[in-house]
Amino acid sequence: MKRRDFIKKGAGAGALALGVVGCGKEAEESANNTAAVASEAAGVMTAAPAVVSKTYEWKMVTTWPKNFPGLGSGAEFLAKLITEMSGGRLRVKVYGANELVPAFEIFDAVASGTAEMGHGGAYYWKGKDEAVQFFSTVPFGMTAQEMNAWLYYGGGMDLWKEVYEPFGLYPAAAGNTGVQMGGWFNKEINSVDDLKGLKMRIPGLGGEVLRRAGGTPVTLPGGEIFTSLQSGNIDATEWVGPYNDLAFGLYKAAKYYYYPGWHEPGATLECFTNKSALEALPADLQSIVINACRVANQDMLAEYTARNNDALNTLINDHGVDLRKYPDKVLEELRVLSAQVVSEVADKSPLAQRIYDSYTQFKQKAVAWHEVSERSYLNSR
């Protein structure tokens, strides 16, 4: 039985499940409208027949502490959105880091079907495939606005799907922090030599750049950063930006707060789905999952943009944080190292090369346009 036939014939139950009160014709129009929204889901994958009365219970595992501002609350926002948009037909329950599985095991947990969704950052999975790092953030790379342009209109999403395909996962961008902060240090950074011997929590490609500069990068989940810094297990850390760094109390364990976050100029957060679980959903629920991620992606960036400056003022005025800009010379040297590190990822596989080419070519165009638009405007206001 075709989906439309089902809705037409089962007008009573179908109309109720869709939240439509009225005759069968209205229910059918509603179903057609829902199908029209399925821009990304359409033609991408198979879908279960639309049995509209069937409900689904999904688990979302995250790398963030439960309800942590921006990141954890972004995961909650997404889960709530999917549950609401589906009229309760797809209920998503969020598990914070270590509630169901440890933070850095969510990728495997969703791949194996222990949970249906995972919320994290793609660079945490570089051990699976180094190419994944292009889908979180690249040192001296694209901003949030530019990343979204590449993902949605520059071929980025198709490449991301290709990287996650062997793991049985379907990726989506589900948040962005905007430009992050450079990090917390207990000494001044006046030259790249000051980074030598420094054990710093810094994930992804930025971590590899620190290694080239003579430091030791460490990847820790958010929930372990403060204790590690306070106990001296690490000398320095980056985390996100003022809103999140204030919440973790990082100012209690380090004095100097450096900017800008050259290593994370617009970190994309992700929500990946077990592809089999996604394909088992009817087309309208698949569309809701995919498009709710798109809403969450934009919403998180808005929240960070709204909250960071107040948090920064609190850090400086109430907690005596010493705000410093990295010297230009330091940024120049890190930029040279970054270009080397990023280009070497391209050598890892033919797919990594294609992703690198796509990313760098798109970035050139975005930079050229933003010279004329964003940068010239920001410099002029």
Contact positions toward Ca ion, by CB under 5 A? Answer: 180, 238, 264
In the complex with Ca ion, which residue's Cβ is closer, 83 or 237? 237
In the 8-state DSSP scheme, what is residue 237? E
Q: What is the per-residue DSSP string for 202-225? A: --HHHHHHHHHTT-EEE---GGGH
In the complex with Ca ion, which residue's Cβ is closer, 116 or 238? 238
In the complex with Ca ion, which residue's Cβ is closer, 116 or 264? 264
Alpha carbon distance 158, 160 (integer Å): 5
In the complex with Ca ion, which residue's Cβ is closer, 167 or 262? 262
In the complex with Ca ion, which residue's Cβ is closer, 227 or 276? 227
The token duo for 64 is: 């963030």
Least separation, in Å, of the C-beta of 238 and Ca ion? Answer: 5
Residue 322: Cβ within 10 Å count:
14
Least separation, in Å, of the C-beta of 239 and Ca ion? Answer: 6
Contact between 263 and 227 under an 8 Å Cβ cutoff? The reply is: no
Least separation, in Å, of the C-beta of 244 and Ca ion? Answer: 9
Best CA proximity match to 236, nearest among 271, 207, 268 = 207
CA-angle at 323, arms to 319 and 324, nearest 5°: 160
Least separation, in Å, of the C-beta of 319 and Ca ion? Answer: 20
In the complex with Ca ion, which residue's Cβ is closer, 167 or 251? 251
Least separation, in Å, of the C-beta of 259 and Ca ion? Answer: 13
Least separation, in Å, of the C-beta of 363 and Ca ion? Answer: 20
Best CA proximity match to 238, nearest among 269, 204, 268, 213 = 204
The token duo for 194 is: 């000051």
